[in-house]
Amino acid sequence: KSLRRDGSSLKSFEDIKNEIAGYT
């Protein structure tokens, strides 16, 4: 599962921003 039991993300927000930027 990509969602941890406690619902928190394993990635830093910076990682997520970079991931989203990849869709630009």
Partner 1 sequence: NIAKAIIDLAVHGKAQNRSYERLAVFADTIGPRLSGSKNLEAGIKYMFNALQKDGLENVHLEPVKVPHWERGEEFAVMLEPRNHSIAILGLGSSIATPPEGITAEVIVVASFDELHKRAQEAKGKIVVYNEPFISYGETVQYRLQGAVEAAKVGAVASLIRSVASFSIHSPHTGEQSYQPDVPQIPTACISVEDAEMMSRMSLRGTKIVVHLRMGAKTYPDSLSFNTVAEIVGSKYPEQVVLVSGHLDSWDVGQGAMDDGGGAFISWEALSLIKDLGLRPKRTLRLVLWTGEEQGGVGAEQYYQLHKENISNFDIVMESDEGTFKPSGLGFTGSAASRDIVKEIMTLLQPINATDVYDTADGTDISYWMRDGVPGASLHSDINKYFWFHHSQGDTMTVQDPNQMNLCAALWTVVSYVIADMEDMLPRD
Residue 3 touching partner 1 (CB under 8 A): yes
* Least distance in angstroms from the C-beta of 5 to partner 1: 9
| SS3 state of residue 20 | helix
Residue 12 touching partner 1 (CB under 8 A): no
17: which residues sit within 8 A by CB, 6+ positions away? Answer: none
Residue 8 touching partner 1 (CB under 8 A): yes
> Can you give the binding site for partner 1, defined by CB under 8 A?
1-3, 7-11, 13, 16-17, 19-20, 23-24
